[in-house]
Structure 1
Amino acid sequence: MKMEGFAHVGLYVNDIQKSLAFYTEKLGFQLIWESVNQCEAGEVLVKFVKSGNSVIELVQFPFAIDRKDGWFDHIAMNVENIDEVMGILKEKGIEFEEGSYTHAPQTFQGGSKWVMFRGPDQEHIELNEKL
């Protein structure tokens, strides 16, 4: 058996258009696939967005979701220059969590920097630069 990493991360959202705009316009993801699936309660809207080799599946149900599965703490995205990316995202209205900017020379060979912010449905997102 050969595992090659994640195919995608599924993210349930309340407003798929708002989430799509956030990930494409603010974070630079590209819409790569969209579909409408039917269930008894109506339409399930699905949009896949991609940045580099990272794919997020945005899913909006026609009803409120009662989460029983485990929760991921955050989605981490690789960046080459965290300070530059932060500046660009701040110009787009992204607010970073106070005190979350971390420089950890002991994490990974050569160290790492990271900072956290929130998406439209309060999903936790991390920018991560390996040094």
Structure 2
Amino acid sequence: MRTYVLIFGAIALVASPTQAKTHSMFAYSGPRYPVMLNGGKYIVEVHKSDNTILMQGALGSGTGSADTPISVWRRVAEQFVTPAGCGIPRVEAIMKDGGTWEATVMCPEGVDFHQLVNEQKAALKRGEPLQPSPASK
């Protein structure tokens, strides 16, 4: 009987939504981009294939605690992508206690979010927001 309980518990843990969200964090392995908002520093990472970004408070900056409201995370995401004409239709906590949030990025038709990020890596690392492609101006 104990074997069945252990197996059921292991399946429940692997199948839980929190576990799935935590696993999705591993798809964020690219560069980390700083975003300044109201004097606080946040870090944004771009998902390697999805149009999503991961956001956390920068270590030692005092930002991104469990008390940080979703509206702040939305503003961080918007500050990163809005200048390029992209929007944020969804913001969701991955690990609220750890201050880790994910936002979906939606760009206009014909705008490749990942291409914009790749073209602007140096500027993004300096904390500049994502800009429209020169061809779309």
TM normalised by structure 2 equals: 0.31
Which has more strand, going by share of residues? 1
Which has more helix, going by share of residues? 2
TM normalised by structure 1 equals: 0.32
Larger Rg computed on CA atoms = 2
